[in-house]
Amino acid sequence: MVDAFDPEEKPGALAGLTHQDSQPDDVVLVLSNAPDVMLAKRIAHILVEESLVACAQVGSPMTSMYLWQGKLEGSTEIPLTFKTTATLVPALYLRLCQLHPYEIPEFLIQGIAAVSQPYQQWVRGNVRPSD
């Protein structure tokens, strides 16, 4: 198990990292998926172009197993990872739902305990300001 980031405990070990503490401009990861590569690339392109995310990663196809309406399903899906700020999560969710064919698209938000300051600034500089 990895301990939580504590800059006071190990000041030199994590030099250059910024502790994030639930602020609106904190960097977050959003995980989703798409049913095929072309749609995954389209979603990624649009979300970066519209500055809802600073970076969108399109992963390799994987098999997902899940229950849908009481029936076991299995399908190939393309994982998507987005880097954005906490304040843009609601707008990102709405836009993803517009672009996505699933009735319930996967939308998981991961908070980041610490991030390098240059990367944090890059993400913040490459997403639109909050409304």
Above 90 in pLDDT, residue 27?
yes
The one-letter amino acid code at 60 reads: S
pLDDT score at 21: 78
Tell me the percentage of the chain whose pLDDT exceeds 90. 77
Measure the CA–CA gap between 56 and 79, rounded to whole angstroms: 10
How much is the average pLDDT of 33-62?
98
Structure tokens, 65 = 């197993």
How much is the average pLDDT of 55-77?
96
Q: Are 36 and 100 in contact (CB under 8 A)?
A: no
pLDDT score at 84: 97
Residue 9 region by backbone torsions, left for phi larger than 0, else alpha for psi between -120 and 50, else beta: alpha
Q: Which residues have CB under 8 Å from 88's CB, separation 6+? A: 52, 53, 127, 128, 130
Above 70 in pLDDT, residue 127?
yes
